[in-house]
Amino acid sequence: MLWMTDSAVLAAMVSAPAMTALLAFLFGKQAPRAVARLGAVTAGAGFAGAAVLAVGGSRGQSASVTLGIAEFGVDRLSVILLLLVFGVSGIVQAFAVRYLAGDPRSAWFTGGAGLLTTASAGLATASTLVTLALCWTLAGAALVLLLATYWHLPAARDGVRRTVIAFVIGDLALWAAVAVATATWGRIDLRAGGEFSGPVVAVLGVLVVLAALSRSSQVPFHRWLPATLAAPTPVSALLHAGVVNAGGILLIRLAPLSADGLAQALTILAGAATMVYGTTIMLVKPDIKGALAHSTTAQMGFMILTCGLGLWAAAVIHLVAHGFYKATLFLSSGSAISRHRRHESLPSAPAPSGRQWLARAAAAVVLPGLALGAAVAVVPTAGGNHAAEQALLIFAWATGAAVMWGWLQRCTGAAAALSGAVLLIPAAVGYVAIVHTLSGYLAPALPPTGLSATSVWLLAAAALAVLGGLTALRRSPGAVSIQQTLYTGALGAGHISPALTTGGRS
């Protein structure tokens, strides 16, 4: 790849997966394993190409290519997204070589995966508004093809139906915005970063937000994603290669429209509502894939919320990290089920006393904060005044608190708390350093941050106050009846008809 120009690398990355898809659809039945391996190798080569472009982007190099009416170009944001697209696609397709071995629909999956990879790569690198919309629609169509892998199953058909309805609404909104914007301002180059003005901006902003909400399974389009679990597990993992998280990409690329007042308010409300809803359902789902699907919905709510707040770097880092992490969780869901069955035979730990519970809770809350404080001291510029970095530090603290709580439930005593803190410090230093490095790398390609660091901390303080109140309520005498009511309501809200939940491989 070193002898190719950056533009040639970009052209190959966008077009090669589509060629693989064509081969899979035409000849996959004759040689399913060969085309599956070809798909994995093609995606792996795309990841290597994205790494080459990332290095070039750090040196100020740029690349662009025109394929028919579609125009593509790379900036620092594009190459980070390309690493996500090809990284997840390569891992998932390599996993599917064995997972779908002997499955008569394996070639269908390989073809759909190649088409989805091409569309997602095009979405990440689109340099004009029309190209962005074309790749957006192509990605949706490719996903529908993948969800129809086991079309003979009623659950698969229901998932396709729900997904098509949500996507058609969102795509119509996006294409309406594209038509009006093109008629008003002519050809729109997304790399120019221009400002839009006029009475149509508010309407276009709402249309763009609706498209983003539909693709990222946000309220009121939140029912399609949990209904897709009848598809093979690699499909659920491949969703995270720039499909379900494409809503954030769209909002960032069209920030001059999506950051308009009304659109911004809609984004914040939908993201916050979906985050609460998805988290609540995830906590009560009895099946692993169902819990992961609602967890994805909640995480996409966080991503949409950060976009609404103008924390663009936080949104990008989160969608990339979550894409890799959640794809891995889906691929390992079968192993998780086996592990859970083994652990069921082990004796459960005795319930802690009130004093022990308070001590564990205090350690879980305080120790991750101290570790992050030490990390900021080691990497002093990471804390800074960058609101996006501050938002991700809050997210890291919440994650660290959950990890520490789980650790202290398994290992009790001061020694366990100390050992947990020792392990948290290098993890926190690495996390802060990575976030700061990525924020600095992405900064030239992102819109200005919408909130100050002070505003972020005020929002965090309000959220922590709410969590503290809920914790106190949980320990109150009447908490049991409230928990039972909430549990029943959440279980019903996340329920899909039993006739539509069978089938598919887990």
Q: pLDDT for 215-259, tens place per residue?
A: 999 999 999 999 999 999 999 999 999 899 999 999 999 999 998
Is residue 258 within 8 A of residue 208, CB to CB? The reply is yes
pLDDT digits (tens, 9 = 90+) for 424-472: 888 888 888 888 888 889 988 998 877 766 666 677 667 666 666 666 6
Give DSSP secondary structure letters for 267-317: HHHHHHHHHHHHHHHHHH-SSHHHHHHHHHHHHHHHHHHHHHTT-HHHHHH
User: Given 299, 332, 365, which residue is the final one in a domain?
Assistant: 332
* Encoded amino acid at 412, one letter: T
CB 59 within 8 A of CB 295: no
DSSP conformational letter for 444: G
- Is residue 271 located within the same domain as residue 397? no
Asked if 123 and 181 sit in the same domain, the reply is no
For 18, the token pair is 């589509």
Instruction: Report the domain count for the chain.
Output: 3
Is residue 498 included in any domain, yes or no? no
Question: What integer pLDDT is reported at residue 2 of this predicted model?
Answer: 43
Tell me phi and psi for residue 197, to 5 degrees.
Answer: -140, 160
Write the burial class of residue 109 (CB in 10 Å: 0-12 exposed, 13-18 middle, 19+ buried): buried
Is residue 167 domain-shared with residue 309, that is, in the same domain? yes
Among 194, 187, 202, CA closest to 259 = 202
Kindly state whether residue 504 falls inside one of the protein's structural domains.
no
Pair 412, 288 in one domain: no
> Is residue 140 included in any domain, yes or no?
no
Query: What domain range is 390 assigned to?
Result: 352-493
Rounded-to-integer distance, Cα 85 and Cα 16, Å: 14
User: Same domain, yes or no, for 28 and 68?
Assistant: yes
Are 263 and 204 in the same domain?
Answer: yes
> Does 239 fall in a domain?
yes
Total residues found in the chain within this entry = 506
Mark whether 122 and 153 lie in a shared domain: no
Instruction: Tell me if residue 342 falls in helix, strand or coil.
Output: helix
Residue 197 lies in a domain: yes
Q: How far is the C-alpha of 179 from the C-alpha of 129, rounded, in Å?
A: 10
How far separated are the first and last CA of the chain, in Å rounded?
37
Predicted model pTM: 0.90
**Does 215 map to a domain?**
yes
In a domain, 56, yes or no: yes
Q: Is residue 156 part of a domain?
A: yes
Residue 409 confidence (pLDDT):
80
Element (H, E) at 168: helix 154-185
* Stretch 283-291: mean pLDDT: 87
Distance CA 316, CA 452 (A): 18
Same domain, yes or no, for 243 and 204?
yes
pLDDT for the residue numbered 72: 96
Residues 402 and 290 in one domain: no
Where among 94, 127, 160 does a domain terminate? Answer: 127
Q: Using alpha carbons, select from 211, 217, 16, 48 the residue that is nearest to residue 113.
A: 16
Beta bridge partners of 73: 64
Do residue 173 and residue 309 come from a single domain? yes
> How would residue 300 be classed by pLDDT, with cut points 50, 70 and 90?
very high
CB 63 within 8 A of CB 5: yes
pLDDT tens digits for range 117-159: 999 999 999 999 999 999 999 999 999 999 999 999 999 999 9
Q: Which of 127, 156, 181 is the last residue of a domain?
A: 127
Do 151 and 123 reside in the same domain of the chain? no
Pair (357, 298) in one structural domain: no
Task: Say which residue, 38 or 457, is predicted with more confidence.
Answer: 38
Q: Examine the pLDDT at 65 and tell me if it is beyond 80.
A: yes
